[in-house]
Structure 1
Amino acid sequence: MPRSAALDGFQLAYDRHGEPGAPPVVLLHGWPGDRTDMAAVAAELAGTHDVVVPDLRGFGGSDRHDRDPADAYGAAAQAASVAALLDELGLSDVVAGGYDVGSRVAQQLAGDRPELLRALVVTPPAPGVGQRILEPDAVREFWYQAFHQLDLAEELVDGDARAVRAYLRHFWTHWSGPGFVPGADRIEALAAGYAAPGAFVASIAWYRSGGGAVARSLAETVPGPDDRIGVPTTFLWPEHDPLFPRAWSDRLGEFFTDVAVTWVDGAGHFVPVEAPADFAAAVATAARR
C-alpha cells in the first residue's frame, strides 16, 4: 500500500487505480468508513480515469496522532493532506468526489486550492442548513455528534471489538436506504480497523475538531459573492438519508457559484456504496465538462 510524504507528521495511505495520464479523480470516504467505501466507484472509473483513493487522517491505514483535533483533524488539515498528496503525484484538473466527511473535505479543498480541481461531485452534508439542524427530527438523528465530544465515547467504545462492531452496524443499517443491507463481511472488515486501540478515537477527532454538521451549521455565515466556491459542483442527494432531507438543498446557491443537484432515488446516506454506478457516472460527466 503506497503512502504519501508526511505533512504535519501525517502520512496518508492510498490506493491508485487506472492509468497515469488519464483524467484524474480523487475519491474521499466518510465516517464510519475508510477508503474501501469507494472501491466500487473506483472499479467503475479505473478503465478511463486515474483514480486516487486515500484514507483521511486518522482513518484506515493513514497516520493517527494524539494531537489537538482542531489543528490536526479538522477540514482545513484534512484538505491540506489531500492537496499535498495530489501535488506529490503531480495531479491537477482533478475531479474530487466525496461523501459525508469526504464531502466536507472536498468542499474545503475547493475553497483552499481551487486551482487543483476541475469539479466536485459530492453528497450531503451541505451548507445552508443553519438553525434547521436544531429541529426535533434532526436532533433525534444527530445525537452521536454530541456523544463524540464526551470522554465516555472513548471509555465505552474505543478498543472494544464488540462495542465497535455494534456501533458501526447501527449507522450502516440505520443510515442506508431500504434496498441496501451491508454485508456482514463489510461490517467485520470495518470493525476490525476501528477496533484497534486508538482507532475509534482518531476517527471521531473529526467531530471533536468542530467538523460535524451540527457545529458547522450553527456557525455558518453566508459568504459574499466573491467568496463562494467557484469550482463547478454537483450534489448527489439521496432519497432516504435520515440526516439530510432534500428540503435542505434549497440554499446551495448562496454558497456555490456553479452548483447542480441530482436526486439519487432509492439510496440512503452511503451513496458511493449503495449506488456506485450513479456516483461514477456523475464523476465521469464532470471530468468531461
Structure 2
Amino acid sequence: MTLAIPGFDHLRLPGADKVELAAAVGGQGSPLVLLHGFPQTHLMWRHVAERLADEHTVICPDLRGYGASDKPAATGPEVYSKRTMAADIVALAAALGHERFALVGHDRGALVAFRAGLDHPETLTHLGILDVVPTLDMWNVLHGIPAAVGYHLFLMAQPPGLPETMITNSADTFFGSFLDAWSSNPSAIPEPVRSAYLQASTAAVPSIVADYRASASIDVTHDQADQDAGSQLAMPVTVVQQDWGARLGYDAASIWRAWAPDLDHRLTGAGHYMAEEAPDEITEAIRDLLLR
C-alpha cells in the first residue's frame, strides 16, 4: 500500500510567520483545499482527493504542528490559534497562485476552516465542515456524563507540562484509542495508514497539545468576539456530522445556522473518520457544496 495520494505531487509551501507546510497537490480545475483532523495527516483525504482530482486542483496540507509540516514552539497561544492556522492556509493557497478557493475541513481542520471563513470571507468561495461545532459552542454543549467522550479536550487544556508528559509516556496508546473509539469501521484505516498516523502524532505531542490548548483559550476569545459582533459565514456552507446533538442534548443544525445562513446540514451514519469510512458520501457532499 502506498502512503501517498496517487498522482499527487508532494510539496513544501509557505504558511504564515515563516512556517512551512507539507502538502499533496494534484488534479486540475478550480482550487479545493482539504484539511485533516486529529490524530491524522493529509492522508485521511486519500480517497476523496482522488475522486475530486478530475474536477479540481486538490490541495491537501498537513496543518502546522502535524504530519510533515513545521512544528514551531508554542511561545504563546497565538502560535497555534485557529486564526494563525487559517492564515497558514490562505498563504499556502496564494503561493500556488490561488487568491480564492473552496475549503473543507475535518475535526481540527474544520475548526481552522471555520476561522478562515470568518477571517477571510473574500478568499473562500465555499466552506465544508466535517463532524464539529465551532469551538465556542463546543465548550457550551459539553456537560454531564455524556461529555466524557471529550475528555482529551480538558486534558490538553491544562497548563504546559502535565499533558505533554502524560501523552508522551503512552503516545501510541493515547492516539490509537481515538482511532479505535471513534471509528465505526476500523478496516477503513488499514494498518499501514494507522501506523503512519501514530508515528506522526507521537512525533508531534507538544504541538498537538498546543493546538488543543489554544482551543481552550484564544480560540474561544476569537469566536466570542465574532458572536458578539454578529459575524456570520458569508459563503455557502455544508456541514456533515454524526448525530452528536442527539447524544449530548443539543441541536447541531441550529448551532450551525446561527453562524451560516446559507447552510446545508447533513447527518451521516458513518463514524468520525467519515472521509475514510464513507468517501463516496463525503465526495458527493463536497460536489453538491461546490455547485451552490
After TM superposition, is the score higher than 0.5?
Answer: yes
CA displacement at 1:167 relative to structure 2: 1.3
CA-atom RMSD, angstroms? 2.6
Q: Is the 8 A contact 1:142 1:243 kept in 2?
A: no
Measure the CA separation in 1 of the matches of 2:251 and 2:14: 41
**Which runs of structure 2 are paired with 1:1-289 in the superposition (5 Å)?**
1-19=10-28, 22-127=29-134, 128-129=137-138, 131-138=140-147, 140-150=148-158, 151-158=161-168, 163-177=170-184, 182-196=189-203, 199-210=204-215, 216=220, 220=224, 223=227, 227-239=231-243, 247-265=251-269, 267-289=270-292
- The one-character-per-residue Cα deviations of 1:42-77 (angstroms, maximum 9, x if unpaired) are 011112210000011101111012123511111000
Distance 1:76 1:233, change over 3 A: same
Shift of 1:201: 1.4
Contact 2:257 2:263 in 1 (8 A): yes
- TM-score, length-normalised on structure 2? 0.85
**3-state secondary structure, aligned to 1:208:** helix
- Partners of 2:247 and 2:80 in 1: CA distance: 22
**Alpha-carbon separation, structure 2, partners of 1:148 and 1:109:** 23
Structure 1 residues 123-132 or 10-19, which shifts more? 123-132
> Which has the higher mean CA deviation after the structures are superposed, 247-256 or 275-284?
247-256
In the alignment, the residues of structure 2 paired with residue 244 and residue 124 of structure 1 have an alpha-carbon distance, to the nearest angstrom, of 14
**Residue deviations 1:13-38, cap 9 Å, x none?**
1010102xx02100000111111111
CA separation in 2, counterparts of 1:23 and 1:144?
37
Residue type at the aligned position of 1:203: I
- Tell me, yes or no, if the aligned pair for 2:188 and 2:276 is still in contact at 8 Å: no
Distance 1:63 1:222 in 2: 29
Residue range with higher mean Cα deviation, 249-258 or 107-116: 249-258
Q: Quick one: which amino acid aligns to residue 182 of structure 1?
A: I
**Comparing 273-282 with 7-16, which one deviates more in the overlay?**
273-282
Residue 71 to residue 226, structure 1, CA distance change in 2 (3 Å): closer
Q: 1:135 to 1:231 in 2, by over 3 A?
A: farther
Are the aligned partners of 1:175 and 1:241 in contact in 2 as well (CA < 8 Å)? no
Partner of 2:6: none
Name whichever of 246-255 and 36-45 sits farther off.
Answer: 246-255
Question: How far off is 1:208 after superposition?
Answer: 1.3
Gaps of 5+ in 1: none
Residue type of the alignment partner of 2:199: A
**In 2, distance between residues paired with 1:149 and 1:57?**
18
1:76 & 1:130 partners in 2: Cα distance? 18
Q: Unpaired segments of 5 or more residues in structure 2?
A: 1-9
| TM-superposed deviation, 1:172 | 0.8
Is the contact made by 1:176 and 1:241 (CA closer than 8 Å) also made in structure 2? no
C-alpha change, 1:14 and 1:178, in structure 2 (3 Å) is closer
2:7 corresponding residue in structure 1:
none
**CA separation of 1:179 and 1:10: change in aligned 2, threshold 3 A:** closer
Amino acid at match of 2:164: E
1:116 deviates by 1.5
Q: Give the letter for the 2:194 counterpart.
A: I
Separation in 1, partners of 2:54, 2:95: 23
